[in-house]
Structure formats: C-alpha cells, structure tokens
A = this chain, B = another copy of it.
Amino acid sequence: MEKEITIYDIARELDLSPTTVSRALNDHPAVNHKTKQRISEAASQMGYRSNMFASNLRKQRTNTIGLIVPRLDSPFHSSVIAGMEKVANEEGYNLIISQSLETAHKEKANANTMFNSRVDGLLVSLSFETENLDHFESFIAKGIPVIFYDRVADHKDCTSIVIDNLQAAYKATSHLIEQGCTNIVHITGNLKRNVYTDRLKGYKYALVDHDLPFVETNVLISQMTEEAGIEAAQQILRMNPLPDGIFVSNDLCAVSCIKALKKAGISIPKDMAVIGFNNDAISRVIEPNLTTVNYPGQEMGEVALKVLLVQMNGTGERIPGNTIHLRSELIIRESSLKSKASNKKKAIIM
C-alpha cells in the first residue's frame, strides 16, 4: 500500500509549482506546450491519479448523476439504464442508481440520499405511489436539474421525456377495432402515472372515434405484474358477454394473461385479440407472438442523459416545462390478427 502520488510530488520532481501541474493536467491554455508534455509524462510515469474528492471539494461539483428508478429488474428499465450508462461513461460522469420499489417513501428517501450526495443532476422515473413532487424541490431550489422520463409529472422547472402514450394506445386500440373487435378490455396500471392515464385516453378516444361505447368496467387497474395478469384473466372470464379484444399496458402482464386465458380454453386471437406494450423479449416467445408497442428504452436513456448534461453544463438557461417525445411503433404479430386476410407480420411506424 505505497503512498499516493499528488500534484505536489510531481511539482517537486520537476521543480515546478503545484499550480502549473494542476493546470497542465487540466490542459489549461496558459501552460507551455513543452511543460505540459513533461508534466504529463512524469504523471503517468509516477503513477499519479487525480483525487476527485479534493477536486470536487474545490470545484463544488461532483461529476455524479443520480438515477431513481422504480425497479432495476425490469427489461424496459434495464435497457434505459444501459443507454444512460453508455453516455455517462463516454462523458466521464458517474451514475448513482437507486430503486424506489414503487413506493413513495423509498423514492423520497432515495431523493434525499441523492441530494446529500450532491449529485449534479437527477433522472427520475416515478413510482406508482408518488403523489407530489415535494422531495425534488430541494434540487430545484439549488438549481440542480431534474429530468423525468417515462413515468413523468408536470413541473414547470423540469423537462420530461416520454413517448406519445396517447397516440400509441390510440393506434393499438384502433388496430384491434380494425381487426373486428367491438368489446375491448384495457388492462393498465395506477392512474396516478401519466403513462397509464394517457394510454387510457388513447384507448377511450379510439373507441369513441370508431363509434364504440366506452365501458367503465372494461378498464382493469392492476399492478401490471405477472400475477396481476392471471387475476385479470379471471376477471375477464367472468365477464358477460366475453370481450373480443384486450389491450394491456405491458408485455409481462399481457403474456401471463394470455397464458391464463389459453388454459381456460380461450383461443388467441380468434376469441380474443391481444396487444401488449414494451416489446420485451417475452413478447416474441408467447404463442401466438404478441402484438406490442416498441418502446425505445436504450434510446430514451441516452436522450435523457444527454438532455440532462445540456442542462447541467448549459449557460443556465433551462428549457422549462418542456417535454420531449420519442417515436414508438406498433409491432403487429399474430396475437392481434383476427382477420386472417391480413399479412402475418408487418410493422407500422407511427
């Protein structure tokens, strides 16, 4: 455990001041090119590594970005994180990740930890439970940019990054109607969250625009888990008359619902056409393959981080209240193709 090399050691070695060494290592223009070269060589030869803490302490920035995510073990979120990590890594930032596990109090606790860790920026996808955004006010008061993605909320000082959930749901529902469905169930999550309210709206508007009635009892609210899909199937099986189409707000839940329905003797898509959401790997495994909405997770992660970096390093002028929309697309597979006349597979870019 030999002693750590500091800029003072380098300075002594080369008979220079720590000031010059510091500047050289940061490629400051006021240092002679040759001097820089000498310092840089000495540094690597001596095994110098910068002490981020001294640097951060003085510079009052941490080079760290906080991320609060509902769950880490979800295909969608892990691809988002993969995208964020990629950009953060390229730009020399560290990501601190924590999970709210869908509870408001954990989200709050995590936000406080992030605040005390003095992250330079915060990325958040809200938990199911979250009612208000008070726990982010401390960031905003200190001028630390907060960005919401996927599960977002309206805040005048925060940018949101989403796909057009309303439109995606509208297209999905319309597709079911075009396939001949007239009695469509919608399984979705906690309506506190934009993603679910927007999809509900899209579902509703599609019905209305096609002169179909919107029936309150056809909307099933759940936790969107594997188990919730089974329960939903049971509820559906008790309906009279049975629906002929189902639009589910995520693939995992859609898949387990399909499995339960098939077990009960329902034929998919003949008896009921089904559409999911997210384009997770399982959507390509279930039989019949699941029609779903392709959700660009990795891209959303990259965009979120890039936007955050702009706000962090920007000249201060925020783009407040702004919402960035990413493109999504309906991927049509067998599970929704009631009218056999249609092609077996095609993708429609929305």
Contacts and interface: CB of A to CB of B under 8 A. Distances in A.
A271 B2 CA distance: 63
A146 to B, nearest CB: 15
A54 interface: yes
A255 interface: yes
B73 A82 contact: yes
A207 to B, nearest CB: 29
Contacts of A259: 285
A223 interface: no
Given A95-B96, A285-B282, A53 B49 contact: no
B51 A118 contact: yes
A341 interface: no
If over half of A's interface residues share one DSSP class (helix, strand or loop), that class is named, otherwise mixed; here it is: helix
A281 interface: yes
B73 A94 contact: no
B82 A52 contact: no
Interface stretch (A18-26, A109-117, A163-171): A109-117
A335 to B, nearest CB: 13
A17 interface: no
Contact of A82 (B72, B96, B116): B72
Contact of A72 (B2, B81, B141, B226): B81
A348 interface: no
B95 A97 contact: yes
Interface string A1-22: 1100000000000000000000
Contact of A287 (B71, B142, B143, B287): B287
6 contacts: A49-B116, A53-B56, A72-B78, A72-B82, A73-B297, A74-B78
Interface of A: 1-2, 49-54, 56-57, 62, 71-75, 77-79, 81-82, 85-86, 89, 94-99, 110, 113, 115-118, 141-143, 226, 252, 255, 259, 281-282, 285-287, 297-298
